[in-house]
Amino acid sequence: MIQVGTYLNVIDNSGAREASCIKVLSGYRRRYAFIGDLIVVSVKSIRSKRKVSSKAKKGEIFRALVVKTKTRKTFFSGDSISFLQNSIVLLTKQNKLIGTRIFGSVPKNLRYTKFLRVASLSSGLVS
């Protein structure tokens, strides 16, 4: 469960390391976001190696796709999935990926959404 104020790891190569949730999108008074939901985030820290060439700067506001959550998510088929950290992928206002690579694996159910590109760029899929 991701809510306002939650710190999240950024797992793409946009240059951001950590971001904080500002708003959970898609719904009136919606409080929590799960895997596959869109949120608005503010970048809190960036990766130190590529400070000059990073696409994301500290303090900038982006949309993000929630890719991993610590909270267990149960699907209608009976399968459930949880991860060891909360992670996101940064997006533009038009919901295009900012980074060109995604580090680590992502859930298989992202393949059946409009974010198929996230599943194809990742290093693996987890069911």
Query: For 41-91, how does the pLDDT look when each residue is reduced to its tens digit (9 = 90+)?
Result: 999 999 987 677 789 999 999 999 999 999 998 888 888 999 999 999 999
Residue 34 lies in a domain: yes
Q: Which has the closest alpha carbon to 89: 16, 25, 5, 23?
A: 16
Q: Domain with 36 in it: what CATH number?
A: 2.40.150.20
Task: State the pTM of this model.
Answer: 0.92
Helix %, strand %, coil % for the chain, to 5?
10, 40, 50
Assess if residue 77 is contained within a domain. yes
Residue with tokens 């390391």: 17
The amino acid occupying position 14 is S
Both structure tokens of 119? 């599943």
Rounded to whole angstroms, the Cα distance separating 111 from 8 reads: 22
Q: Range of 93's domain? A: 7-99
Q: How many domains does the chain have?
A: 1
Residue 26 lies in a domain: yes
Q: What residues contact residue 50 under an 8 Å CB cut-off, 6+ apart? A: 15
Judge whether 67 lies within some domain.
Answer: yes
